[in-house]
Structure 1
Amino acid sequence: MQKPARARILDAAHHLMLSVGLARATTKVIAKEAGCSEAALYKHFTSKEELFVTVLQERLPRLAPLLDQLAGNPSARSIEENLVRIAHEAALFYEQSFPIAASLYAETQLKTRHEAAMREMGTGPHMPIVGLDAYLRAEQVAGRIRPEADTYAAASLLLGACAQRAFAYDAAGQFPPPAADEFARDLVRTLLAGIG
């Protein structure tokens, strides 16, 4: 039995965005790979930008729901355990999303159009920082983070390091990124030394 059209479109978009980049993954090419018409694609997604955001939300590690859950109930686990979970998911998210989004920076018009669409949809790359900041402020209110700690800066540092892990390693393989679980533990211990 064939998958529903929406699932086939997302599968095709994810595959093409990874293999040829966001700029070259046109809606026409995505529809063809999904085995449907371009008109059918637009029945499910209003734009390529919406399709991109949906791929990030549904096909990559789910960072936003984790942040929302922890902000609503911060003390279910220790702050260290929570931050390690967040850093681990973020490291995997950026590792998988970086190859997709990298082509945005190669074409100024595509980047400008993409940024405008993100603003219109009320989303963008700043949203994980906003979500992590909300969680850290909840921890601050609970007394598990120093009252004078800058939670937005801490969120930016943690997520920035996770994004950098996906980007800053030698492509030749001499300096591969550390495993996500090891990286998350070390990063959180360092961050907690400053805000804990």
Structure 2
Amino acid sequence: MEQKPTRVRIVDAARDLMRTAGLARTTTKEIAKAAGCSEAALYKYFASKEELFLTVLDERLPRLGGLLGALAADPGSRTVEENLTEIARQAALFYEESFPMAASLYAEPQLKARHEEGMRRLGAGPHKPVEGLTAYLRTEQRLGRVGADADPRAAAALLLGACVQRAFAYEMTEDGRPPQSLDDFARSIARTLMSGLG
């Protein structure tokens, strides 16, 4: 069996370790070892753990950022509600995957501060999806498909906040699952939001 390229092995190992140990507890040394390469080889591809984390988010998790960027540039032929349904679906999946990775940072304030500084240098952070969805909704507003008096930023925060909530709110319940399927959740969030955006 042919071995995967080094960069692919590094990103896969980072995803697996960050999922199980969290971002705060995963070191580049552990990632390199799991990828079967040296730590120096890892740094040939990635300047920092933050850059590697962003690569994992972009390449190994549901494509939220790409979807938001594409819709802001060209809303396409679907209705706003159909687009919001797809955004809610992808966002819920994205946060379900990424929340366990990043949650460990909140237990270590100094590490969290270093991570946040690194993300700022890279022009990234958890505010980016809100900005992307806000840009999409403003595009729809200019096209007259969202009401002129609607607040795109508030709508973006409501939709994405619901998706974040879904990612962790039900783990303590008896069966550990949300009360709605992912598709039902996405449709109901989009339909409810549309009543305020119309």
Cα distance, 1:171 vs. partner? 2.4
What does residue 151 of structure 2 align with? 150
Q: How many residues align?
A: 196
Runs of 4+ in structure 1 off by over 4 angstroms are none
Q: Which moved more, 1:170-179 or 1:113-122?
A: 170-179
- Tell me whether 1:91 sits opposite 2:89 in the alignment: no
Question: What is the aligned partner in structure 2 of residue 167 from structure 1?
Answer: 168
Q: TM-score, normalised by structure 2?
A: 0.96
Whether the 8 Å contact between 1:23 and 1:104 is mirrored in structure 2 is yes
Contact 1:139 1:145 in 2 (8 A): yes
C-alpha distance in 2, partners of 1:23/1:5? Answer: 23
Q: Which moved more, 1:11-20 or 1:66-75?
A: 66-75
The answer to whether the aligner puts 1:182 opposite 2:175 as a matched pair is: no
State the Cα RMSD in Å: 1.0
Structure 2 unmatched runs, 5+: none
The two structures have a TM-score, normalised by structure 1, of: 0.97
Q: For residue 75 of structure 2, what is the amino acid of its counterpart?
A: P
Structure-to-structure mapping, 1:3-152, within 5 angstroms: 3-152=4-153
Contact 1:75 1:139 in 2 (8 A): no
The answer to whether the 8 Å contact 1:16/1:30 transfers is yes
**In 1, Cα distance between the equivalents of 2:171 and 2:35?**
34
Q: CA deviation at 1:75?
A: 4.3
Which ranges of structure 1 fall in alignment gaps of 5 or more residues? none
SS at match of 1:74: coil
Mapped to 2, the partners of 1:98 and 1:173 lie a distance apart of 21
- 1:31-83 deviations in whole A, cap 9, x for unaligned? 00000000000000001111111101110000111111111112421111100
Q: Distance in 2 between matches of 1:16 and 1:174?
A: 26
Match of 2:186, as an amino acid? Answer: A
